[in-house]
Amino acid sequence: MVETNDIELSAAEAEQYDRQIRLWGLESQKRLRAAKVLIIGIAGLGAEIAKNVILSGVKSVCLLDNEKLKEVDRYSQFLAPPDKIGENRAEVSLTRAKALNPMVDITAETKSVDNLPDSFFTEFDIVCATGLKQEQLERINNACRDSNKKFLCGDVWGMFGYMFADLVDHEYSEEIVQHKAQKRGPDDTEKTAVETFSITVKRRAIYVPLQNALSVDWMKPEMRSRLRRGDPSYFVMKILMRFKDEYNRDPDAAKRKEDTAILLRMRDELVKELSLPAGFIVDALLQDVFGTMAGAAAVIGGVIGQEVVKAVSQREPPHNNMFFFNPVKCVGFVELYGQ
Amino acid sequence: MMLNKMPARAAGVFDEKMTEAIANSRVLVVGAGGIGCEILKNLVLTGFPSIHIIDLDTIDVSNLNRQFLFHKEHVGYSKSQVARISALSFNPDVEILAFHDSIISTDYGVSYFKQFKVVLNALDNRVARNHVNRMCLAANVPLIETGTAGYAGQVELIQKGLTQCYECQPKAPQKTFPGCTIRNTPSEPIHCIVWAKHLFNQLFGEEDPDQDVSPDTADPEAAGEAGASALSSEGTTSGNVERKSTRAWAAETNYDPEKLFTKLFGDDIRYLLSMENLWKKRKPPTPLEWNNLPGKDSPPEQHTGLPDQRVWSIYECAQVFSTSCTSLQKDLRGRTEGDHLVWDKDEKHAMDFVTACANIRAHIFNIPVKSRFEIKSMAGNIIPAIATANAIVAGLAVLRAQAILRGDINSCTSVYLRPKVNHRGQLFVPEKTLTPPNPKCYVCAPKPEVAVACNLKQLTLKDLNAAFKDGLNMQAPDATIEGKGIVVLSSEPGETDHNNDKTLNEIGLSDGSALLVDDFLQNYEVRVRLQQEDEEKMWRIVPDADKPMPAPRPANGANGSEPKPGPSTSRDHDSDSDLEIIDEDDDEPAVKPPKRRRTEMNSDEVVELC
Ligand SMILES: [Zn+2]
């Protein structure tokens, strides 16, 4: 949980954050400015998350990435200057990240997550991981969980994307708008008016770790019934995660044809394995999964950025526990898995 | 169109069709604010080779929490120019043309719009949205209309003949307050804030007879002896002041704060008290005395939070009233004859003045007083804006633009970003089908037609010109009498000035007469039927005779400007919102359009005459 400090905002902070303080209040802004955030994977999605989190006015952001800037990153990674291809993605993003908001302390870390101890991750109040394999995500999630630190992860493949959240045991306040008809004075124009006012309630949300959400038993009747009204996005994510595990990379734009064939084969296997309805996972969902499209990174990065703000400020209900963006239908939805 | 400059891009990220469609496109982004910055970034990264961006605004420090192409050192510079330079650093291979200009200009006519494959709107006001809507209809270019307000947002496609246009559904008129509520019987903080802004204009701004701040003796509620007896009574200065403009009176006293205070918050209130009918069912106001103000001897309370969030005592309000009056008067005096101040929420003394006056008046009328922070929101129509909602909406907008280029325009239904998930867990909610055009729309119908209800014996041609501009959102209307071909209104300056003060009757128009009105700037023509209505004091637009105008819905913002009669178009304000929120109901058959609740978040409030 983020500790607030009692130091008042400076005039400069009040001025710069005016429009958001008017939305989420001063208390939220104070919590934000005390929060330490780690962002893992500074490709297109990581850059979007970093931008949103830095603009919101947190205390510090660490950009962690051991990979080099690639040609394909130029479609979505706006923090890295395009002439820095071949250099470390976190390091080359530092200058522009700092320029977004000089009031935030921003650092870069170039080690692989596999070479960092659990204690590295738990230094932060919240971790956002992108571009990792399932087992890496689960390891960091569990480390955070053991220290009661919040964990988010997500990825974008082409136009498709997801987010997962484990806020452990999360307390938050929620503003609920209520309406009340009110008698007015003898104004001839306004006999009665509906007055809206809001009350703040305290709530609590319990989360499950990533491994639970990813190991759902689809043979159970209650999960089967979800399929009927469901969206195939969860399975698209599973297929793409399997691809990453099996080939140790994401689908490659340069091998568009071969990789699409592999993905469709993996789709067919999954359909068989889980006895999913035929035609449930349409081909179109697996055909635009190359690189990162800027529009999709902005969408998923926007959702994850907002979840960081909600988690840190403990205001408004955070998503529990998975969000999917299905680009074929242009729908974005939240579902709870693994509970 | 094959553009010579092709951005170098890794092959295979898009399929061939998409790659080619993008390579051969030119797009226009209207607005370089919160959504505009995000859209521009997405377009540039995606590799759109030729982008125009236009915005007339300059960068303010309160933009920096979301308009991420701008940094502190850019404050005061042109938004479009700085956005261009920042975005080029993401991809120097694209061409961006930036215009520091208003889109409402003859420079950007139909042929200008025709060069674009898609236009993306990222605007903050209805006037410009209406205009771009008409230009895109005239040029037959698909328009992607966007907006956000706080956590919520929307993306909507407008394509001539395929979808409804921005003006197919009549917009909720702005929230209005009866003039007598503002002048005589305020009951809410907003009434006092509107009054305070009017007072600012009366004293320092553009004097407007419809923004009178003195007691309104014509209040129908006060009709009878009370007002009359008060008028004839002696001893108060207000009887005299009544006949003099507030500005002239203030100038005579040399803007002496104590005298002004005594008139506004003492004498005028006593005068209102003499209108006894007003107070039969209301708690009467309490006049204040300069030398005996509440809070004078008590020290300010302990306060936590932003300095602006502390509520001032009435004594402090009076002090602020005094200092702000003096500064504003000094500013006014330093200007050339005829020049005046324009109220601006970001101008310290102007905002101080309105806060102080609104709170003093609220106290007098037993209305809760508010902090400067809260009053700034209400007086300045501030709609909260955050980076994440803008990012999501801009991301969706560019994905929609890609789909249009690829030829999938029929899939581009409106998408709503909800502040919280709906009962189906959806955060982005797409409509199931495109909403077809309203065949009776007076903008996009094949033969646009609309009725104007007015009293033809009273309404002058000048008023009618205002109806075309404010009611039908035209920029430069020309009108001829149908069947006769007589030009009664011309957009050419001076050409029909001789008609200005004639009534519609006097120029030969009667109930059922029709005018052909066209706007060359918008490439728009509409047939206007005139309806005689004896009761109508000014004019009223009747968009569709079969369907009444929807009932006004509450607006979020609040403002006390624009005392124009009739529904008036809203002015610029402070966010990217013009939001339409959908109440979707999943049990309804898919063909039925969802119920709409247009939450017009950028409407200025207007005062109507009573
Ligand atoms: Zn229309």
Q: Which residue type does A296 have?
A: A
Whole-angstrom Cα distance, residue B186 to residue B190? Answer: 8
pLDDT grade, residue B16 (50/70/90)? confident
pLDDT tens digits for A310-328?
999 999 999 999 999 999 9
Please give, rounded to a whole number of angstroms, the shortest distance from the CA of B516 to a CA of chain A.
36
B128 among annotated binding-site residues: yes
**How close B346 comes to chain A (CA, Å)?**
11
Which chain B residues touch A261 with a CB distance below 8 Å? none
| All structural domains of chain B with their residue ranges | 16-171+384-430, 187-366, 449-542
Q: A146 to each of A140, B159, B395, how far by Cα in Å? A: 10, 54, 35
The size of the A-B interface in CB pairs under 8 A is 214
- pLDDT tens for residues A241-272? 999 999 999 999 889 999 999 999 999 999 99
Whole-number pLDDT of residue B12: 65
- Phi, psi angles (nearest 5°) of residue B303: -130, 130
| Residue B284 backbone class (left: φ over 0; alpha: ψ -120 to 50; beta: rest) | beta
Q: By the 8 A CB rule, do A61 and A104 touch?
A: yes
**A78 with B41: Cβ contact below 8 A:** yes
What pLDDT sits at residue B505? 92
pLDDT at position B246 over 70: yes
Q: What is the percentage of chain B residues whose pLDDT exceeds 90?
A: 66
What's the CA gap between A35 and A308, in Å, rounded?
10
Q: How far is the C-alpha of A167 from the C-alpha of B211, rounded, in Å?
A: 54
pLDDT of residue B228: 44
Ion ligand 1 residues within 5 Å by Cβ: B 165, 168, 441, 443-444
- What lies within 8 Å, CB to CB, of A246 at 6+ separation is none
Chain A residue closest in CA terms to B65: A55
Tokens coding B530? 């005139």
Question: What letter would DSSP give residue B544?
Answer: B
Which residues have CB under 8 Å from A336's CB, separation 6+?
Answer: A320, A321, A322
pLDDT over 90 (residue B608): no
For residue A207, the one-letter residue type is Y
Q: What is the mean pLDDT of residues A278-293?
A: 92
- Beta-sheet pairing, B449-454 with B426-430: unpaired
H helical segments located in A184-255: 210-214, 221-229, 233-247
Whole-prediction pTM value?
Answer: 0.89
Q: State percent of chain A over pLDDT 70.
A: 94
Least confident of A330-334, B68-72, B340-344, B578-582: B578-582
Q: Say if residue A17's pLDDT is above 80.
A: yes
- Give the rounded distance of the alpha carbon of B334 from its chain centre: 30
Which of B90, B382, B428 is the closest to A330 by Cβ? B428
What's the pLDDT band for A183 if we cut at 50, 70, 90?
low
User: Which of A4, A53, A293, A326 to mutate to probe the B interface, most B CBs <10 Å?
Assistant: A293
- Which domains can be identified in chain A, with CATH numbers? 11-168+294-335 (3.40.50.720), 171-205 (no CATH), 216-287 (no CATH)
The predicted-structure confidence for B474-484, as pLDDT tens digits, reads as follows: 999 999 999 88
Superfamily of domain B16-171+384-430: NAD(P)-binding Rossmann-like Domain (3.40.50.720)
Task: Reply yes or no on whether B180 is catalytic.
Answer: yes
Is it the case that residue B581 has pLDDT exceeding 50?
no
Query: Is a pLDDT exceeding 50 seen at residue B253?
Result: yes
E strand or H helix that includes residue B143: strand B143-149
CATH number attached to the domain at B449-542: 3.10.290.20
Which token pair is B496? 């029909």
Does A293 sit within 8 Å of B399, measured CB to CB? yes
Q: How far apart are CA A128 and CA A150, in angstroms?
A: 9
**Does the pLDDT of residue B302 top 90, yes or no?**
no
Q: Which of A121, A200, A175 is nearest to A153 (CA)?
A: A121
Distance CA B576, CA B427 (A): 20
Residues of chain B contacting A26 with CB distance shorter than 8 Å: 305-306, 309
Higher pLDDT, A93 or B234: A93
Q: How far apart are CA B286 and CA B305, in angstroms?
A: 31
Label residue B304 exposed, middle or buried (CB < 10 Å: 0-12, 13-18, 19+).
Answer: exposed
The answer to whether B500 touches B481, Cβ cutoff 8 Å, is no
Average pLDDT, chain A: 93
Q: Which of A151-160, B70-79, B143-152, B335-344 is the least confident region?
A: B335-344
**B contacts of A103 (beta carbons < 8 Å):** none
Contacts 24+ apart (CB under 8 A), B497-502: B499/B461, B500/B460, B500/B461, B500/B462, B501/B460, B501/B461, B501/B462, B502/B460, B502/B461
Band of pLDDT at residue A4, cut at 50, 70 and 90: low
User: B579 a known binding residue?
Assistant: no
pLDDT in tens, A48-71: 999 999 999 999 999 999 999 999
Q: What integer pLDDT is reported at residue B175 of this predicted model?
A: 73
Classify B78 as helix, strand or coil. strand
Tokens of B374: 């809260």
Chain B positions touching A56 (Cβ under 8 A) are 65, 386-387
- Strands B176-178 and B524-532, how do they pair? unpaired
Q: Please give the Cα distance from A322 to A236 (Å, whole number).
A: 13
Contacts of A120 (CB under 8 A, 6+ apart): none
Helix ranges restricted to H, B53-178: 79-88, 110-114, 126-139
Give the pLDDT score at A278: 85
Chain A residue with CA closest to B384: the answer is A19
pLDDT at B224: 53
Locate the chain B residue with the closest alpha carbon to A16: B62
> In the CATH scheme, what is the homologous superfamily, with its name and number, of domain B187-366?
Ubiquitin activating enzymes (Uba3). Chain: B, domain 2 (1.10.10.520)
* pLDDT range class, residue B569, cuts 50, 70, 90: very low
* pLDDT averaged over every residue in chain B: 85
Question: Structure tokens of B230?
Answer: 């008060």
List, for residues A198-215, the tens digit of each pLDDT value: 899 999 999 999 999 999
- Which among A313, A281, A247 has a CA at the least distance from the CA of A20? A313
**Residue bearing the bigger pLDDT, A223 or A51:** A51
CB contact under 8 A, B388 and A309: yes
φ/ψ of A63, rounded to 5, equals: -100, 115
Q: How would you classify residue B48: left for phi > 0, otherwise alpha for psi between -120 and 50, otherwise beta?
A: beta
User: For the residues B267-274, what does the mean pLDDT come to?
Assistant: 95
| Residue B306 in this model has a pLDDT that exceeds 60 | yes
pLDDT in tens, B452-469: 999 999 999 999 999 999
- Hey, are the CB atoms on A14 and B220 less than 8 Å from each other? no
More confident residue, A168 or B169: A168
**Three-state secondary-structure class, residue A181:** strand
Confidence category of residue A126, pLDDT binned at 50, 70, 90: very high
Strands B27-30 and B118-121: parallel
